[in-house]
Structure 1
Amino acid sequence: MNKTPVVEMKNIHKSFFHVQVLKGVDFDLIPGEIHALMGENGAGKSTLMKILTGIHKSNSGEILYKGEIVEYHSPKEAEKAGIAVIHQELNIIPYLTVAENMFLGKELKRQPFGILKTKEMNEKTKENLNRLGIDIDPQKEAGELSVGQQQMIEIARAIAAETEVLIMDEPTAALTDREIETLFTVINQLRREGVAIIYISHRMEEIFRMCDRITVLRDGQSIGTKITSETDFEEIVKMMVGRELGERFPERTAEIGGDRFVVEDLSLEGIFNNISFNVRKGEILGVAGLMGAGRTEIMETIFGARKKKNGRIYMDGKELNIRKPHHAIAAGIGFITEDRKDEGLVLGLTVRENLAIPNLKKLSKSAVIQKQKEKQWTEEMIQKLRIKTSGPEQEVKSLSGGNQQKVVFGKWLGTEPKLLILDEPTRGVDVGAKKEIYSIMNELTEKGFSIIMVSSELPEILGMSDRVMVIHEGKLSAILDKKEASQEKIMEAATGGVKS
């Protein structure tokens, strides 16, 4: 491997409105390496990458690209030089074909009339995808593809532009396990071809599997760079949060009682069939399975967001007739969805307003909100959930991912649910905030709450669940006690190898 850096960022400083976001950050990237950039939300990772790609201008410091000092004024300028970004929110236009997306803004045309060379663009698209080992029809509409396939188009587009530096931001957040393996195969191929990759992710298992080096930022400062094979999870966490985090998952201390919630023979046409399970008082029931197995759809059906084909649902021995989400809420069920930004929060509203939305009845008298009661309740919730905010009037969109998720928790806790359904509760949340969310879950179950936790992260399932329910292709594959559950048994059940 060529040890001469393709990118060097030296002593980078950046402030916004007198708030110092980056304080002398150093970072370098070697051709053919995968270099993880880690840090808690708000540590400065995104700002550093935006400076590299010309979105922001640094206040001081210098950037060297292939040995020369550079300063890009737009992402297009950086991309032209060979630095591309694959964003978490993909830049794919669903109504265009794969080839049209590949050549967007760079269309091949016949002169002098500007007629598109459609056949040639289709052929070149096929070549670029084949280079990555991907078989996708260039004439297919991009919107018909899976998220993983759309991501491959973005990577192929970047490589077609002779990219030498590829920045990947949470690249596996919305991918199935199979798509993740395909992505890793492609990333390893790019590494062999000499492409340098900056890999931003909160998933520790991926970092230690894929990355050659890890650079950690904390509070806008460079804490250090480690060779991955010479460090471990505990050291990286300590660098990120500035302290020993202790055990990754808190010890489960809740006393588990009798049945709180029971589901019998629940089915949704074409998605899942005859699902039966129970959740006990004070219990966390983990729900595992491959993406597309039907886990989220089961939870949405329980909550009344989807119309069940058949089945019965009971709370504390009483059968519930849930046809709409407000029926579920009235019965004591809360649902924290996996997409907090689109479904869990109103980003333009304040912390106070978001917390109050599902609790207006409780905070009102004669249909008028009691401002003092609302203020007091909001401040109690901020303190209780340890939400890091400048105050109740701060807009939710300016909070870190972990604190946004705590606001979502607060919304539902105000409704005093007996059962809380959590769908990917720590997705996109840094390691320190994850520990705090786990502690909140523990505290809730100690008070007798019951929790169903859907998660794609097996360490999280094993670390937090009292029992694990595994779904395979719309069917209940296994229910495992904590003592017998293991990654191997869960994956075997998730792929259809074990029957309950």
Structure 2
Amino acid sequence: MSELVLDVKGVSKRFGAVRALDNVQLQVHSHEILALMGENGAGKSTLMKVLSGVYQPDAGEIRLGGQTIKVHSPADARAAGINLIYQELAVAPHMSVAQNVFMGSEPRGRFGRVDTGLMTRKTNEILASLGARFSADTLAGSLGIADQQQVEIARSLIHKSKVLIMDEPTAALSDRETERLFEVIRRLRNDGIAIVYISHRMAEMVELADRVSVMRDGGYVGTLPREEATPERVIQMMVGRPLGDFYQRRETTTPGPVRLEVRNMHSDRIHGASFAVRAGEVLGLAGLVGAGRTELARLVFGADELHQGEILLDGQVIKVKEPLDAIRRGIAYLPEDRKGQGLFLQLSALANTTMSVLGRNSRFGILNHKGLRRLTEDAIKQLAVKVPGPDGIVGGLSGGNQQKILLARWLAIKPKVLILDEPTRGVDVGAKSEIYRIINQLAASGVAVVVISSELPEVIGICDRVLVMREGHISGELGAGQINQEAIMTLATHLPAAVDATVTLH
């Protein structure tokens, strides 16, 4: 039978003048997976840190098993049975799995020596219950992310978890690894553990959650049972507006002349691709993973070697041998991996925003610092970036705000063509809506926008026209009135003989 395990009542927390939590409530039962959802900045992480003893609440009550508890430190939380697994895993790579599992609570035998035999036996028992494919003696650093998560889960079980909180646990996992993790989570739920699952991914909520609680702006919005927690309703609770307002399409306008044209491009992964995009148009590039979408974009940007083909900008053939050539011509590319290939996380918003236009803002080798700061301040205001100011460090920002900073860098060069590769991956729904607004504004101003996305609703919602790729070819084109999930998937999974792999505009 399900019983109320964790009962949070009226919890509030301030950081100076900022109210991070405002009279929040939360209830979690045994044998339950509770999905906790909300935009970045909604207060989810702050609440979890209160529950795990990292922060102390200014007001409110935390009850565990019907008893009021005081959680002054993470050690207090673990002792009470509340364990938090962060998105960034805390595994010591040079220690064994057993040493990681028992870290800080090693069993002692005679003369105070660590009982390694007991550690190994207990760890192997828990790993077996989790269906792990490694042993207690395995070096933790040799494991992949999915297996390291099982090490953290095993550690929580050693501490006899009553409540297990998981923060974005699938962010770095493949589909197969995600399914394995889901199997473990369901097994823990069936064993009676109360699980709080934090995620931005609607599909995970639908697949896993027994109930869904939503937070917005530091407050509690409400809780829905599984049967009522449709993505549309949850998104409306998260952002405070109906899903129908989510893809805010601009008024239909006639695109301008062809801005970018690509003819017969070949590389190791691309085979004879041709396409064109007009000024003021949002062109989608869809297809399955590995279809060649990113590879095609990187060829246009000069990031990969082109074996054959031509690139025309405003009707003129241009040479793009490296990204700097593309940037000088007004072609910008926002990569899929914003942290690894786009941003300098240790630098400020100002440095990240202006690094592509330093030459334009200098004279005789001396930078115009006032001009660069003004440019950054204007970008922060225009894109509604939540950052303390131009000097704020980018690594401390949410995914959505990091993406906006990267967008700001490319807007600073006043692009003619903007290629966006998975522009909303890893950002919350509120930030997605803001990014869609920016895309619409850019198209309305005459920029030719190319959007690569694996989210079909996104492609359908924001693109004027869609090209579908398969195995390095462009397998077909969908115009206005033709763009739907079935048509995209048909072209993505088959290459009909009747469809010419060369797509041009007339």
Q: TM-score range by the shorter chain?
A: 0.7 to 0.9
DSSP-derived class of the 2:355 partner? helix
Q: Displacement, 1:236?
A: 2.9
**From 182, 204, 209, the counterpart of 2:180:** 182
- For 2:424, the aligned partner's letter is T
String of CA shifts for 1:341-368, please: whole Å, max 9, x gaps. 5554444554434322222122222222
1:432-451 counterparts in 2 under 5 A?
Answer: 432-451=430-449
Q: CA 1:492 to 1:152, structure 2 compared with 1: closer, same or farther past 3 Å?
A: farther
Q: 1:132 to 1:22 in 2, by over 3 A?
A: same
CA shift, 1:320, in A, is 5.2
1:14-93 matched pairs, under 5 angstroms: 14-93=13-92
Q: Which of 228, 244, 247 is matched with 2:245 structurally?
A: 247
2:457 is matched with which residue?
Answer: 459
Q: How does 1:242-281 map to 2 (within 5 A)?
A: 242-244=240-242, 246-251=244-249, 253=252, 255-256=254-255, 257-258=257-258, 260-262=260-262, 264-268=264-268, 272=269, 274=271, 276-281=273-278
- Shift in alpha-carbon separation, 1:274–1:498, aligned structure 2, 3 A: closer
Q: 1:101 to 1:212 in 2, by over 3 A?
A: same
For 1:330-409, what aligned pairs fall within 5 Å after superposition?
330-341=328-339, 343-347=341-345, 349-389=347-387, 391-396=389-394, 399-409=397-407
What residue is the counterpart of 1:194 in the other structure?
192
Aligned mates of 2:75, 2:242 — CA distance in 1 = 41
Q: How far 1:435 moved relative to its partner?
A: 0.9
Name the CA shift for 1:334/1:161 in 2 (closer, same or farther; >3 Å): farther
Q: Distance in 1 between matches of 2:450 and 2:144?
A: 27
Which blocks of at least 5 consecutive residues in structure 2 are unaligned?
502-506
Determine which of 295, 307, 319 is the counterpart of 1:310. 307
Residue of structure 1 equivalent to 2:428 = 430
Alpha-carbon spacing, 1:429–1:320, altered in 2? closer, same or farther (3 Å): same
Could you tell me which residue of structure 2 aligns to residue 224 of structure 1? 222
Distance 1:237 1:436 in 2: 14
TM-score by length of 1: 0.83
2:286–2:488 CA contact under 8 A, matched in 1: no
C-alpha distance in 2 between matches for 1:93 and 1:331: 47
85-94 vs 359-368, which moves further: 85-94
Aligned to 1:7: 6
Alignment of 1:92-103 (within 5 A): 92-94=91-93, 101-102=100-101
The equivalences for 1:465-480 within 5 A come to 465-468=463-466, 475-476=472-473, 478-480=475-477
Is the 8 Å Cα contact of residues 254 and 442 (structure 1) preserved in structure 2? Answer: no
Question: For 1:172-216, what per-residue CA distance to the aligned partner results, in whole angstroms no more than 9, with x for missing partners?
Answer: 333333333333333223222222221212222332332222222
Measure the CA separation in 1 of the matches of 2:296 and 2:106.
44
1:284 is aligned to 2:283: yes
Aligned to 1:61, the other structure's residue is in SS state strand
Maintained 8 Å contact 1:467/1:479: no
2:332 and 2:417 in contact (8 A); partners too: yes
Equivalent residue for 2:504?
none
Per the alignment, in what secondary structure is the counterpart of residue 34 of structure 1? strand
CA distance in 1: counterparts of 2:115 and 2:272, whole angstroms: 52
Equivalent pair of 2:343/2:406 in contact (CA under 8 Å) = yes
The worse-fitting range, judged by mean Cα deviation, of 40-49 and 398-407 is 398-407
Q: Quick one: structure 1 residues 22 and 113, their matched pair in 2 at CA, closer, same or farther if it must change by over 3 Å?
A: closer
Q: Aligned to 1:358, what secondary structure does the other structure show?
A: coil
CA distance in 2 between partners of 1:301 and 1:129 (Å): 46
Mark the structure with the bigger radius of gyration: 2
Query: 1:229-240, aligned counterparts within 5 Å?
Result: 229-240=227-238
What number of residue pairs does the alignment pair up? 491
Query: Does the CA contact (< 8 Å) of 2:282 and 2:449 recur in 1?
Result: yes
Q: Do 2:349 and 2:390's aligned partners in 1 also have CA atoms closer than 8 Å?
A: yes
1:85-126, Cα deviation, whole Å (9 max, x unpaired): 2322233455666666555556689876968858984x7666
CA offset digits 1:349-398 (Å, max 9, x no partner)? 54434322222122222222234433443343233323345554555456
Q: Deviations over 1:2-47 (max 9, x none)?
A: 1x32111111111112422112111111112121222222121111
Contact 1:263 1:277 in 2 (8 A): yes
**Which amino acid is 2:24 matched to?**
V
For residues 450 and 124 of structure 2, what CA distance do their matches in structure 1 show? 44
CA 1:83/1:299 → structure 2, altered by over 3 Å: closer, same or farther? Answer: farther
Separation in 1, partners of 2:34, 2:272: 43
Is the Cα–Cα contact under 8 Å of residues 110 and 117 in structure 1 kept in the other structure? Answer: no
CA RMSD of aligned residues (A): 3.7
SS of residue matched to 2:419? strand
Q: Could you say if the C-alpha distance between residues 362 and 301 of structure 1 is closer, same or farther in structure 2, counting changes exceeding 3 Å? A: same
Opposite residue 208 of structure 2, the aligned amino acid is M
State which drifts further: 132-141 or 326-335: 132-141
8 Å Cα contact 1:259/1:278 also seen in 2: no
SS state of the match for residue 4, structure 2? Answer: coil
User: Offset at 1:229?
Assistant: 1.6
Residue identity (%): 41
- CA contact 1:477–1:493 (8 Å) conserved in 2: no
Read off the aligned partner of 2:277 and give its amino acid letter. R
Query: Separation in 1 of the partners of 2:372 and 2:66?
Result: 58
User: Measured at CA, do residues 20 and 183 of structure 1 come closer, stay the same or move farther in structure 2, by a change above 3 Å?
Assistant: same
SS across alignment from 1:56: coil
CA deviations 1:121-155 (Å, max 9, x no partner) are 4x766654453445357776655655444434433
Contact 1:423 1:454 in 2 (8 A): yes
Unaligned 5+ segments in structure 1 are: none
CA contact (8 A) 2:387 2:397 kept: yes
Deviates more, 1:479-488 or 1:72-81: 479-488
CA distance 1:212–1:349, shift in 2 (3 Å): same
- CA 1:265/1:97 → structure 2, altered by over 3 Å: closer, same or farther? farther
Output the TM-score relative to the length of structure 2: 0.82
- Tell me the CA shift for residue 322 of structure 1: 4.2
What SS is found at the alignment partner of 1:55? coil
Q: Among residues 207, 210, 218, which one is paired with 1:209 in the alignment?
A: 207
Q: Structure 1 counterpart of 2:211, which letter? A: R
Distance in 2 between the 1:403 and 1:346 partners? 14
